[in-house]
Structure 1
Amino acid sequence: MSAVRFEDADGIAVITIDRPARRNAVDLEVAHGIARAIDAFEARADLAVAILTGAGGTFCAGLDLAAFTRGEIPILPGRGFGGLTESPPGKPLIAAVEGWALAGGFELALAADLIVAARDARFGLPETKRGLVAGAGGLLRLPKTLPYRLAMQLALTGEPIGAEAAHDHGLVNILTEPGGALTAARELAASIAANGPLAVRASKEIVAMSVDYPSTGGFDAQRPLVERILASRDALEGALAFTERRAPVWAGE
């Protein structure tokens, strides 16, 4: 059986790390499986949003240390750890987190655009406890979401943060009862999938790049994307559907 499952329905792809006996730890098979799943998601125009989750009540425990001792390093060229952290998809990705998201597993979640988590979920970067650093994007992305000193505390102590505290600080979008993260993630994904696909993709790109631009530079950087959307068939369809009081029929162009 594959270590990564790919399912789709109603414009939503679900990518599941399926190694519950290993707490969904990432080895090379998982990295290649996630990369293939992301490629399939990106290639299909009928899929608007993807959800990344883990089987068996755990999101991901990070690097499979047993595989690492055998010489496996699950970092793919141009894609990063787990086939994802250095090259997230252009379309929206939601992490649905139950249980632990640790080390590289937390970094996989941080590579997503949105996080839905069970109230008892835990997030952590314990690398310093093992003499390592969180080099798969955790140290780069965490300070863009959490207050600087809290991000520094997590990075330096290696101690985890609970989902409720993470939600209070804006790291988690939606909290659910235990066992409900994937269902809530599907509901969130459905609300995104109902929108214009070109507009969603462009909006993600602009929001993602905005953190690296001052306000004036940001307007210049977003202008080609905004102009392309204004000239699209979907923009006209959205306006017509509103004036005609009907649901829009998106063409994706």
Structure 2
Amino acid sequence: MKYELSTHLVSIEELKNDISAEDYGELNDTWATSIQNAWLKGANLDRHGIVWISSKYLHTLLRVKKDLVNYHLATIGRAGADYITGTEFIGLLSNIFDSATTFRRRDYIRYSEKLYILIRDSDKAEVMRARYYEDLTDKKNKLKVQRIKKYKIKVDELTGTNLKTQTAEFSHIRSVAIYPDLQLELDNGLIVNKKTHEIITEKGIQNEDDLYTLCLAKGWNTKWYNFYKQTFI
């Protein structure tokens, strides 16, 4: 999933005791403490419960030299980024782990990863994710009514048959699974009857080109296609 940096990042300071209590085995006390502090200062949660990590602390968390941080960020297409997500961090960490030449360095990397997982799976993050997805579900459920009202829809937008409003569905054009960032866009969907939606689902339609091909095969309306392409470039 693609995420944009939230303007409202939340501190993880309340996890300080949990982080400092995490066993670091035989690692050097000073280095283990520096990794703990880097997580506490450099990591935040957004309203989705997603972990964001400041690039200023990546040299400590990844166990690399400061002047190599941007090089490593470039390998994931994030050169110059002020923050990266936890998912991006784990990708970097895995690459660095694979190239680590000593057991000790790999142990430090494992410890940093362990603290990331502690933060990601914390009750605080889980509650934030739960609230976000509840809100998302509520908003998705309103898309059908909003689109019908905005465009005064009375027929199935693909087949042209009379719309059975009560059972009709908002059918996403670009699928939620592959394009989650567009799931609340009113124009990333069409109002169709239940049977039409079942056919779309059965055919495994994932985007506008898949749907356009299906419309041609079924003799359905294709006028939506040009508008869609202009709206979602």
Query: Relative to total residues, which structure has the larger helix share, 1 or 2?
Result: 2
Same-fold call, TM cutoff 0.5 = no
TM-score, normalised by the number of residues in structure 1: 0.20
Query: Relative to total residues, which structure has the larger strand share, 1 or 2?
Result: 1
Task: Tell me which structure has the larger Cα radius of gyration.
Answer: 2
TM-score, normalised by the number of residues in structure 2: 0.22
